[in-house]
Structure 1
Amino acid sequence: MAGDQKAKGKKEQAKGKAKEVVGRAVGNERMEAEGRMGQSKGDARQAKEKAKDTFKH
């Protein structure tokens, strides 16, 4: 389960980064902001899973 969540966090980060880059390339500020938000969401998921791992051990 935790591995699935970690992978999901990485996927969200990658999708967010891609969306941010595309938004910047085409000059779409909204898409760029959505990309940054996706990266933040992925970062938060990763941090949550790391914290859960820390308290397990």
Structure 2
Amino acid sequence: MSTMDKAKNAAEKAKGKVKEYAGQAKGDKRMETEGKGDQAKGGVKQAGEKMKDAAKDTTGH
């Protein structure tokens, strides 16, 4: 996984965490749920990148 991809995925997860906490503070369930979704999206992307890296390590490419 490239450093840029790692940074983007981490930023997306962090943005989701901030949005989740802001939603909790404001009592806005929709914002809170969107934040959790953003975190999940970043995690899925990160997992996909790790799978690509593992495949490259296995095949040597």
Same structural fold, with TM-score higher than 0.5 when normalized by the shorter chain: yes
1:10-25 residue pairs with structure 2 within 5 A?
10-25=10-25
Query: Which residue does the alignment assign to 1:52?
Result: 52
CA offset at residue 39 of structure 1? 0.2
CA offset at residue 4 of structure 1? 1.5
User: How far apart, in 1, do the equivalents of 2:7 and 2:44 lie?
Assistant: 13
Give 1 or 2 for the bigger CA radius of gyration. Answer: 2
Task: Structure 2: state its 5+ residue gaps.
Answer: none
The sequence identity of aligned pairs, in percent, is: 51
Task: Structure 1: state its 5+ residue gaps.
Answer: none
> Please, what TM-score do these two structures have when normalized by structure 2?
0.86
Amino acid at match of 2:8: K
**What is the alpha-carbon root mean square deviation over aligned residues?**
1.2
User: Size of the alignment, in residue pairs?
Assistant: 57
CA offset at residue 26 of structure 1? 0.8
Contact 1:9/1:42 (<8 A) preserved:
yes
Q: Structure 1 stretches (4+) deviating beyond 2 angstroms?
A: none
